[in-house]
Amino acid sequence: MISCSRAVPRFRPLPPSFYRRPAEVVARDLLGRWLVHEDAGERLVLRLVETEAYLGAPDRASHAWGGRRTPRNESLYLPGGHAYVYFIYGMHFCLNAVTGTRDAGSAVLLRAGEPVEGAERMRVHRGWTRAPRPGDLAGGPGKLCQALGVGRELDGVLLSGPPLWIARGEPAAPAEIAAGPRIGVAYAGEAALWPLRFAVAGNRHVSRPWPAGPPGSSSAKLSVNDF
């Protein structure tokens, strides 16, 4: 039999060229995509519902602010399409997709996802004994990594195939994308207010309730070019 069995269209990875665009563009375009981690024969899949863009040197909230370069954030300077994983608060990991060209220092933080496959395994990873509620498994950057079993060993890997990649999935329509200020970056001054947090409007798996706005408004019209 001819080996034509390589087709895995359902989990076809996004190409590196997808990531070699501005972080705020990639952050929007990642919503609805599938984040896949394969480990020890088990496949865990999340549909991304919340992201944040970090713009590099000009962005005070970014680990690459002012061109800061240390052993810890070295992979943040890889070409777009690589993973940047870091350890924070003494107990959590956060996963980013690096964007732009080599040395740009820009990335997208993957903040929340909705279980698509392997929810039972994610529940075990997260330590839940009872039925989790929406957001319990991957409704936050630390939770997302714990649910998928992502740690520092994946720092710097290419996100275009096993063990960790992002697949085409079901991209969110631009009209259903909400934008707002990023979370946990108050120290960044004015940059903290830039509308670089994106989510699928109304999705129950986001990390936090969306900032109060006019009822029914998704602030989808907020332009990232306005600052």
**Cα–Cα distance for residue pair 42/206, rounded to 1 Å:** 25
Residues 6+ apart with CB under 8 A from 36: 11, 43, 44, 45, 164, 165, 166, 167
What is the phi/psi pair of residue 107, to 5°? -160, 170
The DSSP symbol for 103 reads T
The reply on whether position 43 binds DNA by CB under 7 A is: no
- Our finding on whether 187 is near DNA (CB under 7 A) is yes
Least separation in angstroms between CB 175 and DNA: 26
Site residues (CB under 7 A) for DNA, limited to 107-136: 107, 109, 126, 136
**Is 47 an interacting residue with respect to DNA (CB under 7 A)?**
no
Residues 54, 77, 194, 210: which binds DNA (CB under 7 A)? 54
Binds DNA by CB under 7 A, chosen from 76, 83, 196, 224:
76
β strands within 32-191, DSSP E: 34-39, 42-54, 83-88, 92-99, 106-117, 160-161, 164-167, 177-180
Out of 20, 21, 43, 68, the only residue in the binding site for DNA (CB under 7 A) is: 68
197 binding DNA? (CB under 7 A):
no
Other C-beta atoms within 10 Å of 53: how many? 29
46 binds DNA (CB under 7 A): no
206 CB-near residues (< 8 Å, 6+ apart): 49, 50, 111, 112, 135, 139, 199, 200
Instruction: By CB under 7 A, tell whether 14 contacts DNA.
Output: no
Min CB(7)–DNA separation in Å: 34
What's the token pair of residue 61? Answer: 């909230």
Cα dihedral value 29, 68, 185, 35, nearest 10:
30
Q: What is the helix (H) or strand (E) element at residue 199, kind and residue range?
A: strand 197-200
Joined together, the tokens standing for residue 102 give: 């080599």
CB of 15 to DNA, least distance (A): 22
**Site for DNA (CB under 7 A): which residue of 82, 123, 125, 143?**
143
Does the protein bind DNA through residue 60 (CB under 7 A)? no
- Span interacting with DNA, options 114-122, 157-165, 166-174, 178-186, rule CB under 7 A: 178-186
Stretch that binds DNA, among 10-18, 35-43, 142-150, 198-206 (CB under 7 A): 142-150
Residues of this chain that interact with DNA (CB under 7 A) are 52, 54, 61-64, 68, 70-73, 76, 84, 87-92, 94, 96, 107, 109, 126, 136, 140-144, 182-185, 187, 207
